[in-house]
Structure 1
Amino acid sequence: MTLNTIGLDTKKTKDLAKDLNDLLANFQVYYQNLRGIHWNIKGKRFFDLHVKFEELYTDANLKVDEIAERILTLGETPLHTFEDYTKTAKVKVGKNISQDEKAVELIVHSLSELLSIERMILDKSDKTGDEGTNSMMSDFITEQEKTVWMMKAWLGETV
């Protein structure tokens, strides 16, 4: 087994970095979806949702940077082209969404996809002994589960 400078198995961190790149691609699509619904939202809930969507895309942008920096910390290169993102991402692209419920449903579906990827990475990073990635995924999951709950409550649904 070969260890990298931060003391982790290089083969396992290469695999984790690939998964983090998948997460990065999905986060980039999620981020762009949030920008789109922020710009295009219409209706009586415009003022509340416009502000909320800006809060969410600002947070997503920070997470994109954290993910990319973690990939670099593991010794790999983060994806950085739209071509890579669209080939890799599973998060559905939301195009021309201006209706409030459709926008919130897009967020819920996107976060559900991100949570699935993050849980898989959390499991792998735990088995690898990669506390940095593990901690990041745990924090993301906790925050996003709460957002899903709030969005579902707004829709009048339960988790």
Structure 2
Amino acid sequence: MKRLEVLGLDEKKVQHVVVDLSLLLADLQVFYANLRNFHWNVKGHGFFVLHSKYEELYNDAAEKVDEVAERILQLGSNPESRFSAYLEVAEIKEAGVVSCSKEAVDLLLDYYKTLIARERRIIDLATEAHDDTTVSLMNDFLVQQEKTVWMLVAVSSQSCAE
């Protein structure tokens, strides 16, 4: 018996969910790499707080990468694992070296906008496919990300030190 049949999911509807989960996986992988960049290279006002926050965020991103890849597997597909393939499809692009804390925070807000939009689209697709598990996973992501966005917006009012 096929896995999706046991789960009570329609293969054709689930395929749309898998496509967007795969795009989210690519974005999360680039997001993770950019967070490492910020953690290593940001200087200036708020360094101590942001340095720690970036580490917290990249650890969280690594967990999300694993959760998304495992969900793709649970839905009967194989997650991409090549970074070159992620770069081809990711909406989030690699950041160059970013040393200004305000610039990094502003980029993070853009990244979250992209991730949140993708996750909301996945919720819509998963709802249509009656894939409550994926809906729940995306809702869990959104709860944490919306709080992080609130905090980053508060920090983004700072300007770069010359």
Q: Please state which band the TM-score falls in when normalised by the shorter chain.
A: over 0.9
Counterpart amino acid of 2:111? S
Higher relative contact order structure (alpha carbons within 8 Å, sequence separation ≥ 6): 2
Asked if the contact 1:92–1:110 (Cα under 8 Å) also holds between the matched residues in 2, the reply is: no
Identical columns (%): 46
Deviation (angstroms), 1:6: 1.5
Deviation at 1:14, TM superposition (A): 1.7
Contact 2:13/2:128 (8 A) holds in 1 = no
Unaligned stretches of 5+ in structure 2?
none
Aligned residues: 156
Q: Which consecutive unaligned segments of at least 5 residues does structure 1 have?
A: none
Tell me the alpha carbon deviations over residues 46-94 of structure 1, each in whole angstroms, 9 at most, x when there is no partner. Answer: 2111100000000000000000000000000101101110011001321
* 4+ long deviations beyond 2 Å: 2-5
TM-score, structure 2 as length reference: 0.92
Deviation at 1:42, TM superposition (A): 1.1
Amino acid at match of 1:108: L
- Counterpart of 2:145? 144
Q: TM-score w.r.t. structure 1 length?
A: 0.94
Kindly provide the amino acid, as one letter, of the partner of residue 56 in structure 2: E
Separation (CA, whole Å) in 2 of partners of 1:123 and 1:15: 10
Give the superposition deviation at 1:23.
0.3
Report matched runs for 1:57-96 at 5 Å.
57-96=58-97
Secondary structure of 1:5's aligned partner: helix
Tell me the C-alpha RMSD between the 2 structures.
1.4
